[in-house]
Copies of this chain bind each other. A is one copy, B any other.
């Protein structure tokens, strides 16, 4: 990849939405980290995308790696917090599983760039650094929601599962893959995707097709720096 042109300047969109330099920098970072990868994106790329200079970025950001860590931390915290709220009233394991599937799918569909960074750039944080350790801990905390739902469903006899871990890994991959292909103007609405994936999830745990809790999209985290679909 010899060229690094950004393709679209974010400046036109961003000025009338948010003048805060921190938000503009983070929006450009999510866009370019998702599109080109963290390692292939330079501070100068970010600066060019929002009509700043190299040095201007460093007034708001201590380092390129700290910027990545901030984005990933905020993303994972938003995911965990909204999942906590989402599952708050759900008692039946089948409802909790359905909410885990639909909310993880929706977050990946609605924030494709931030989630691609969250899911794919963990290796770009220095191994063993406190930043990387913190993100790993957050990811593990989120996965515990899935482990508990599947464990409880099996214990209660609501799920019949050969291998809980395999089932969890299969369903989570299905949900996170959404950020790679979902388009808001595409063939399927987000509601259709969630409904289909929940149906597959229930089939995977041998739960009968039934009415389950549906995801309240308004409870999902709102990330001010998820770039627009330009």
Residues of A within 8 A of B (CB): 1-3, 35-37, 39-40, 65, 120, 123-127, 162-163, 165-167, 169-174, 176-178, 180-181, 187-188, 192-193, 195-197, 199-200, 203-204, 206
Q: How far is the CA of A22 from the CA of B102 in the complex (A)?
A: 46
Closest residue of chain B to A169 (Cβ to Cβ) is B181
The interface residues of chain B lying within 8 Å CB-to-CB of A163 are 187-188, 192, 196
Decide: B39 and A196 in contact? CB cutoff 8 A: no
Decide: B123 and A35 in contact? CB cutoff 8 A: yes
Q: A3-B126, A163-B192 are in contact. Are A197 and B170 (CB under 8 A)?
A: yes
Q: How far is the CA of A173 from the CA of B165 in the complex (A)?
A: 16
Decide: A196 and B123 in contact? CB cutoff 8 A: no
The interface residues of chain B lying within 8 Å CB-to-CB of A127 are 1, 3
The contact sample of 7 A-B pairs, CB cut-off 8 A, is A1-B125, A37-B123, A120-B120, A162-B195, A163-B196, A169-B181, A170-B174
The interface residues of chain B lying within 8 Å CB-to-CB of A197 are 166, 170
Copies in the complex: 2
Closest residue of chain B to A68 (Cβ to Cβ) is B1
What is the distance, in angstroms, from A82's C-beta to the closest C-beta of chain B? Answer: 22
What is the distance, in angstroms, from A8's C-beta to the closest C-beta of chain B? Answer: 14
What is the distance, in angstroms, from A136's C-beta to the closest C-beta of chain B? Answer: 14
13 additional A-B pairs beyond A162-B195, A163-B187, beta carbons within 8 Å, are A2-B65, A37-B37, A37-B124, A162-B196, A163-B188, A163-B196, A166-B196, A169-B177, A169-B181, A170-B200, A173-B176, A177-B177, A203-B204
Q: How far is the CA of A169 from the CA of B177 in the complex (A)?
A: 8
Across the A-B interface, the 3 shortest Cβ-Cβ residue pairs: A173-B177, A203-B203, A39-B39
Decide: B1 and A65 in contact? CB cutoff 8 A: yes
What is the distance, in angstroms, from A55's C-beta to the closest C-beta of chain B? Answer: 21
The interface residues of chain B lying within 8 Å CB-to-CB of A173 are 173-174, 176-178, 180
What is the distance, in angstroms, from A163's C-beta to the closest C-beta of chain B? Answer: 6
Decide: B177 and A165 in contact? CB cutoff 8 A: no
The interface residues of chain B lying within 8 Å CB-to-CB of A169 are 177-178, 181
The interface residues of chain B lying within 8 Å CB-to-CB of A203 are 200, 203-204, 206
